[in-house]
Structure 1
Amino acid sequence: MSLKTLAPQVLTSSTLRNTVRLWHLLGRRLGGKTATLHAFLEPGEPYSELLIQALPRLQETYGLDVVRHCVGAPERSAAPEPEMLANWSSLDAEALAHAHGLAGVKGVVSDIGGEAQAGADLRRKLGHYASGMIWFEGEWYWGVDRLVHLERRLGAVPRQALFEPPAETGARTGGSFEMFFSLRSPYSYIALMRVFDLARRWGAEIKLRPVLPMVMRALPVPREKRFYIVRDCAREAERFGLEFGNICDPLGKGVENGLAILVDEINAGRGEVFVQSFMRGVWSEGLDASRPARFYKICKRAGIDWKHAEAVIATQDWREVVETNRQDMFAGGHWGVPSFRVGTRMCFGQDRLWQVGEWLAEEAGQEPA
């Protein structure tokens, strides 16, 4: 095992996570302190406004002290498309409010109190960059989407946080949708390892639309953001029963190899098998997709002839395809991955697959499950 793969395994280890939790728990109890939740909230920011509504229930249910910290907007390096983010988050928060039984947030600007710079300084010291975040004893939780992890940690059976397609009832929505994703995105990995099965439950077709990773599009990703993402993905992968953490970052040649083969396989109607083989290889098996011997293993598992793969890799035909995909994604008002489009409507995030299902049902004239 190389240092390249060992570091992510340590960072995403459930053993490390549980050790940190135990350390904080023992320190609190030995000090005779009350469990304290710190919420970092940006006035008027939709996800913060939703989280504000959820805090009283957490405080009452779990006997927590809740400290609110006012913060400003994230730096541009952490949110590279602020205008798109503002437009999307307003729409997304309304859908989340409905799904979680909360009030809408359009036009709401809460009086959080406190000085934004002090809140931002504490947030940075504790290792984060975003608004609408909870810090609880060494661990970060984003908005109402990640309360499922916090509540499980607090020892309760949380309310259902996601709305999955109705496999038990056998309801099928039909239709089709597009998925924009990156081979370097761990959230794309989590979505891609689930979405084909969910689509079969919906009876829907998927059009795969790969794009270049942000870093390969000259968009920097801050260190705090990278660390939070892999840790958050470890929790999400664990929740869905997916292996994750033995990572070999495919940035550069690995991504290029993968995109060349993937575009060719999509054109042949075989994208699912290869993309899952690739994503499993780099996100849970530590396979270096830039090295022929490792990439051969990824291709072989997907049933791809190696001589054919070598010929495809030598071409650059895929570049125009992925750039067209990126332009199409941006034209739809989205910049990040994974994003999904049903008809003319788009949503963003591996935790919005429930919304894809609802939209497919609406397109089919059904009542959402």
Structure 2
Amino acid sequence: MSKQFKEQGGAATMDPSRFRRWITSKIMTKLISFETLTKRRAREERRRKLSARAHIIEYFHQVDDGYSHLAAQALEQLLARYNVEIKCHLVGPPEGANSPEPDLLMELSRNDATKIAPYYGLDFPDCAKMPDQPIVDSAKAILSVLSDSDFVLHAKIIGQALWASDQPALDKLKAVWGISTDVEISERYASGNARRADLKHYSGGMFFYGGEWYWGIDRLYHLESRLSDLGLDRNPGSEPIMPRQAIHVCKKANDTGLTLECFVSLRSPYTAIVFDRALELGRGTGVTVEVRPVLPMVMRGVPATMEKGIYIFGDSAREARAANIPFGNFYDPIGEPARCCYSLYPWAVTQGLGNELLSSFLRAAFVDGVNTNRDAGLQLVVEGAGLNWSVAKTLVGQDGWQDELEANRLMMYESGLWGVPSFRLLDNHKRTIVALWGQDRLWLIANIIEQYLEVEK
């Protein structure tokens, strides 16, 4: 199975040379460090002052993206709370290597937005379906004609009509604000897409401020904290508009009947910062945790770009700091190191230490900066998991693990998910209660567990 995927080279190489592995690891560790982040923010602020610019947040809106509709609902609040200006762009969806599963991503944005909206005090219709193209085109025509100030105030109203598939409502809005011509719409999108590309990003529902990207409402608390530090908060000391969602572990039950499946990989920074917390959630609630490892994306033929990789690693570091989780001393485990660890996984499971092996490997690669491409590094991983290295070294490289990882990948896709970490919560009949993607959805899993157990009482 591991040989069925083609080596892609470039940013998506699965087997870099020793030198490339070393130098890219050093560079990434430097790029995502808190020291680098602090210096970059200070440099951006100096440049802003020298050019006498206002504090400008740039927002990139993708009309048919569920996350963008949630983000649009925060614009007016941001403008009222902080002494900033907001520049609004219209953009298309991610393309090419930045969007390996565009159809799944669109459906995920709708499903996920429906689930998280209530926790942020936002609206997303529970019965929403993906809007038909004529509805999308109507929304684009209206949004394209709006000034930045009107966009901030009214984008959410247009989004509500869009996601309700309410063409009559959109027709009424057209009568109020007018519409752009096809040429004007194309020009507006070309401008937004070009600006996003110049700033080295690829996605919609994004905020950009002072050299840094913030994804949707999930990352607004980072932006709000930064704006507050700059003295721009008109209501200092108050709760952020979109606060970070904490993981609340409910009281442990003796027999929940619930199973939490965790789809993880050994080269995912998001997996690295959530894996141990997912295991802790299971222990704390009495929910059975079943870990289902899969190959890293680039090792299963999924393309990748440098800009996407840099954003993901930087975002992971930012999220880790917010959660007070060690992270950031990175030594890339892609390719052979990951394969070696996966080859030991079936044996580790028989020893009752499968999760410990994965945890130890992730800690070595993402926290301790251990070169897991060397026997000495792999030995540290094995012994850190409580396993016997003298036995392990005779098993490294054995086959038999590939089929299990491929079965896990297919299972993940069946739930409409394709990246890690992903979670699937099952009831006592192994029926899916919810399937979610992302380290930033463990809080929602915890809430759903608590709600389910309350109902069962």
TM-score (norm 2): 0.76
Equivalent residue for 1:310, pick from 393, 397, 412 = 393
Counterpart of 2:143 in structure 1 is 112
Equivalent residue for 1:281, pick from 355, 364, 371 = 364
The aligned amino acid for 2:94 is: P
* Alpha-carbon offset, residue 367 of structure 1: 9.0
* Alpha-carbon offset, residue 43 of structure 1: 0.9
Counterpart of 1:94 in structure 2 is 114
Give the alignment of 1:167-186 within 5 angstroms: 170=251, 172=253, 174=256, 175-186=258-269
Q: Kindly report structure 1 stretches of 4+ aligned residues shifted beyond 6 Å.
A: none
* Alpha-carbon offset, residue 27 of structure 1: 2.3
Counterpart of 1:131 in structure 2 is 204
Counterpart of 1:142 in structure 2 is 215
The aligned amino acid for 1:304 is: L
The aligned amino acid for 1:209 is: R
Contact kept? 1:24, 1:138, Cα under 8 Å: yes
The aligned amino acid for 2:217 is: V
Structure 2: distance between partners of 1:86 and 1:358: 24
The aligned amino acid for 2:284 is: R
Give the alignment of 1:98-247 within 5 angstroms: 98-104=118-124, 106=128, 107=131, 110=139, 111-113=142-144, 115-155=188-228, 157-158=239-240, 159-166=242-249, 170=251, 172=253, 174=256, 175-247=258-330
Please give the root-mean-square deviation of Cα atoms over the aligned residues, in Å.
2.1
Describe the superposition over 1:314-361 as per-residue Cα deviations: whole angstroms up to 9, x where unpaired. Answer: 311111110110111111111011000012121000000022123323
Change (3 A) 1:190 1:150: same
Counterpart of 1:29 in structure 2 is 49
Structure 2: distance between partners of 1:253 and 1:27: 44
The aligned amino acid for 2:208 is: W
The aligned amino acid for 2:27 is: A
The aligned amino acid for 2:196 is: R
* Alpha-carbon offset, residue 69 of structure 1: 0.4
Contact kept? 2:260, 2:282, Cα under 8 Å: no
Contact kept? 2:353, 2:385, Cα under 8 Å: no
Change (3 A) 1:228 1:182: same
Equivalent residue for 2:402, pick from 313, 316, 319 = 319
* Alpha-carbon offset, residue 137 of structure 1: 0.7
Change (3 A) 1:367 1:28: farther
Structure 1: distance between partners of 2:249 and 2:378: 36
Identity of aligned residues (%): 34
Counterpart of 1:338 in structure 2 is 421
Instruction: Name the SS for the 2:317 alignment partner.
Output: helix
Describe the superposition over 1:40-71 as per-residue Cα deviations: whole angstroms up to 9, x where unpaired. Answer: 11112111111110111111101210011000
Structure 2: distance between partners of 1:125 and 1:367: 52
Change (3 A) 1:22 1:225: same
Structure with bigger gyration radius: 2
**Runs of 5+ unmatched residues, structure 1:** none
Structure 2: distance between partners of 1:3 and 1:314: 26
Instruction: Name the SS for the 2:424 alignment partner.
Output: strand
Q: How many residues are paired up?
A: 366
Contact kept? 1:68, 1:112, Cα under 8 Å: no
Structure 1: distance between partners of 2:36 and 2:101: 33
Instruction: Name the SS for the 2:352 alignment partner.
Output: coil
Change (3 A) 1:70 1:78: same
Structure 1: distance between partners of 2:414 and 2:100: 16
* 1:62 and 2:82 aligned: yes
Equivalent residue for 2:438, pick from 337, 345, 349 = 349
Q: Select between 334-343 and 22-31 the one with higher mean Cα deviation.
A: 22-31
* Alpha-carbon offset, residue 184 of structure 1: 0.6
Structure 2: distance between partners of 1:5 and 1:251: 11
Change (3 A) 1:133 1:38: same
Structure 1: distance between partners of 2:143 and 2:39: 33
Counterpart of 2:338 in structure 1 is 255
Contact kept? 1:208, 1:266, Cα under 8 Å: no
* Alpha-carbon offset, residue 291 of structure 1: 1.1
**Runs of 5+ unmatched residues, structure 2:** 1-18, 145-184, 229-235, 427-431
TM-score (norm 1): 0.93
* Alpha-carbon offset, residue 22 of structure 1: 1.2
Contact kept? 2:249, 2:446, Cα under 8 Å: no
Structure 2: distance between partners of 1:5 and 1:27: 29
The aligned amino acid for 2:101 is: E
Structure 1: distance between partners of 2:216 and 2:329: 27
Counterpart of 1:294 in structure 2 is 377
Change (3 A) 1:42 1:367: farther
Instruction: Name the SS for the 1:84 alignment partner.
Output: helix
